[in-house]
Amino acid sequence: MNIFTRAQRKLWRMLGLGEFLHLQNSVIELNNIGELCKVFGWRLSPVLDDTKIHEFSYVEDVNERRIRDAETLATVVRNTDPSVCLEIGTADGHSTALMSLNASAQARIYTINIPLEEILAGKGGELTTIALEREKIGAYYRQRNLTNITQILANTAYWKPDIGLIDVAFIDGCHDTKFVYNDTLKVLKNMKPGSFVLWHDFNLDLVRKYHWINSVCLGVEKLFTDGHIRGRVFHVRDSWIGVYRIEERI
């Protein structure tokens, strides 16, 4: 489904906004996490106990980006009381631990990461980001003895979700447009209205500055263009996360 006429598309392209036609109209920029809570009527504060969120290692971390990201992910999980969360892209397991701590002990946090052999065999995408050896994937959350996490080692290019209905999905695996698109489609088929999809490396203000953010945003844009999602994507200023609540069946 494409709600824009050819003339509108042409005009937007001339203005240099054509690539992100839907996102320009759909993304609501929020000044802070309190505004996200207002939108959804949430009252609970996130549990944030990971010192890494206060570190500054790269220019990409300016404006407390790590804190804004952690707040966003943790606030969604804490306030939705999910039974099942899925994270695509475990890396060393910091965001896995964050989801785990903000969900109940009865919840199940599934986290999936491509095995190193598949990356080396060229079976992942281009923007794989991190290639960790097997024992290092999820090492941080394992250190913390969290009990509600299940780790999956698989490449999402081939993985078929078999974890029941997903309440919160955090998509942070391969950042290629086609992976963002396909990973999201896979999870959407296993989600119901009212559930949340979050994309990492999502920030419309930075699409001209960081090519991987451009790539992720193009994936989300295509989901709108093809009619798989509709409505609003919320973005807390300075974070790199897009928050989407699934609407009634399209």
Ligand X SMILES: C[S@@+](CC[C@H](N)C(=O)[O-])C[C@H]1O[C@@H](n2cnc3c(N)ncnc32)[C@H](O)[C@@H]1O
| Residues in touch with ligand X (CB under 6 A) | 88-91, 94-95, 112-114, 124-125, 128-132, 155-157, 172-174, 179
> What is d(CA 249, CA 177) in angstroms, rounded to the nearest whole number?
24
How far apart are CB 243 and ligand X at their closest, in Å?
Answer: 15
How far apart are CB 240 and ligand X at their closest, in Å?
Answer: 10
Q: Which is nearer to ligand X, 24 or 182 (CB)?
A: 182
How far apart are CB 233 and ligand X at their closest, in Å?
Answer: 19
How far apart are CB 143 and ligand X at their closest, in Å?
Answer: 14
- Residue partners of 117: CB distance under 8 A and separation at least 6: none
> What is d(CA 145, CA 131) in angstroms, rounded to the nearest whole number?
24
> What is d(CA 190, CA 250) in angstroms, rounded to the nearest whole number?
14
Q: Which is nearer to ligand X, 139 or 157 (CB)?
A: 157
CB 199 within 8 A of CB 220: yes
How far apart are CB 65 and ligand X at their closest, in Å?
Answer: 12
Q: Which is nearer to ligand X, 128 or 148 (CB)?
A: 128
Q: Which is nearer to ligand X, 37 or 154 (CB)?
A: 154
> What is d(CA 75, CA 47) in angstroms, rounded to the nearest whole number?
8
Q: Which is nearer to ligand X, 47 or 131 (CB)?
A: 131
Q: Which is nearer to ligand X, 82 or 173 (CB)?
A: 173
- Residue partners of 51: CB distance under 8 A and separation at least 6: none
Q: Which is nearer to ligand X, 112 or 243 (CB)?
A: 112
Q: Residue-wise over 217-231: b if at least 16 C-beta within 10 A, else e?
A: bbbbbbbbbeebbbe
CB closest to ligand X, residue no = 89
| Torsion on CA atoms 210, 90, 241, 206, rounded to nearest 10 | 0
How far apart are CB 15 and ligand X at their closest, in Å?
Answer: 32
> What is d(CA 137, CA 139) in angstroms, rounded to the nearest whole number?
6
How far apart are CB 82 and ligand X at their closest, in Å?
Answer: 17
* DSSP assignment letter at 209: T
Which residue has 């890494």 as its token pair? 52
